Structure 1
Amino acid sequence: MLRRSRPLAALCAVVLLSGLAACGSESDSADEATGSSGSSGGPEEVSFTGEVGESLTAEWSGAIEQPEETTVETLVEGDGEEIAEGATVSTYVYVGNGSTQEDVFSDYDNGAPESIPNDEQVGEVFLEMMDGATYGSRVVAVTTPTDLLGPGAESNSLGLGADDSVVVVMDLVEEQEVAPTPSSDQAEDAAPDSQPSVVSEGGDPVGLDFEGIDEPALDTPVQRVVLEEGDGAKVKASDTVTVDYLGATYDADAPFDESYSRGEPLVSPLSGLIPGWSIGLDGVPVGSRVLLQIPPAYGYGTQGSPPNIPGNATLWFLIDVVEAE
């Protein structure tokens, strides 16, 4: 639940060096998705059925040889506007192993689209697929693990071998609204009475009480209250941290996630978590208990993290910093 919400969330560790209601084009149909309405149809060895933004099924008839260079074709041409440079696109992504004829990743299976920016952070394959494309389109690329995943190709989590071919499909549904930019990218130390109070049972936190607390504006910077200050080394944004935590949205009846009842602290690089954690924990001594208020731009943005975190949600996290190194 805390992981950074980025394009290809399940692949972010290798793709980027590191759910929303979607709608297809009115002209989309299962026949069009196979390329029978004047589109190229993509590679002969695989066809795709299902409407853009609703579903995608791959039907394999043979293996695909690894290409010498990435090729991109349009299966369905959408009737929306051309995707602008720098726009954030609500996109369903599918990845298949063309050599073994297996599905290895699908946002349709995961139940929500990705919010993918049309800029250099997503890599050349995705940039080429979005170049000149229109909203409502279905685009396919045949590529290699190295071209798709870059330096992380050798240790990828998709089971792709170095000599495998890779088939990537993007359903470019619609332009994604961007969360308001906070008025500062630094954490602000807040008064304790401006934040919810901690509810505990048996000594462990179980929730946050928002009585008397107004919902903040979406552009409010990260707010930080150090409830208990530790005496350890100060956390750096580059650290891997060990923490116990509890997270909640405004006036929620229950946390959307917490580690206290599990008895297993979270261990993770801060760089792999939502940006609000790096901003809020930077400089906090190990051993501290901190309450953070995180705006959507530094949390899960307009996409949210269904089903428990809606789009444009301000998040609150109670965090016990156990270790940082």
Structure 2
Amino acid sequence: MHIAVYGYELPLTMALTIRGTPLGRRRGFYVCIDGRWGEIAPLPGESRESLEEARDELLAACARLAQGQPHGASLPSVQFGLDCALTAIDGEPAPSLPLLEGEREPIIRAWRCRRVHPQRAWLTLTGEVQHDAGLVRELTLLVPGLQLVLDAGGRLSEEQLEGLWRRIDPARIDWLLDPAADLAAGQRLAERHGWPVAFDLGRHVALDYPLFEQLKALVLRPSQLGGLARCRELAEEALAQGLDVVVADSLESGLGNAQLARLSAQWAPGRTAMLDRLRYLLDRGVDGNGQPDPGRLTLLREYG
């Protein structure tokens, strides 16, 4: 078994702020095991792991693999990346929902320039009620059949969400993602107001979630949840309970993004993923075949 671990650093199209954490460049790691690749890249502001923790565990896990032992990784990003490198991830990719976030004018301008409008999109809420409600109304006027997923990110107050809901047509909203910072509070708000909601399990410490009438979907970010078997299990359980499942990114490079698109098609057939943050990478980190170029990477360790 030949194993190589690389570090990467990719420029962004613009400086980002991820849940209050500034991000100027995307850093992470690739692992190549006998010619197959995986990506390990905790996202600052979203992941509960640091890059340093992921690097140290990745190197230790690869050393165990090189000795013929199980990798024994415990961090979700390392589990996921190693599983991807140890598994052939084939098949057609799932399509992605367009992500709408930022200032109103660029969003509307880009929307008007589209030759074909999607019938569903993901809108990140700012918490400014007039802005958010106006944007929802304008988008739905531009595309009469448009349905929206509204991402509150657990950051908005009940008052803000109530104000938004009064100003929009609820029939145009598929669900409201994370109306509160924790699952129990989100359930209380959904039941109190009758809002259709979804939970992003990567944002919550526990992977157990309550089932109630207003819960419509789960968002799964695999690199924040664990290995392939665990993520598949979560998807299958949710589908069996009648929930929608959306596989979402953690701002991976082109390698991880493409793997997530294929995994989404396997775990949630016929459903749309949410992988549009790839557009924030000025350099996607892969060649024309979708593979990283070792010549552009920093070799950290090689085994075998």
Q: TM-score, normalised by structure 1?
A: 0.24
RCO greater where, 1 or 2, for CA within 8 Å and sep 6 or more? 2
Which structure's residues are more often helix, by fraction? 2
Q: TM-score, normalised by structure 2?
A: 0.25
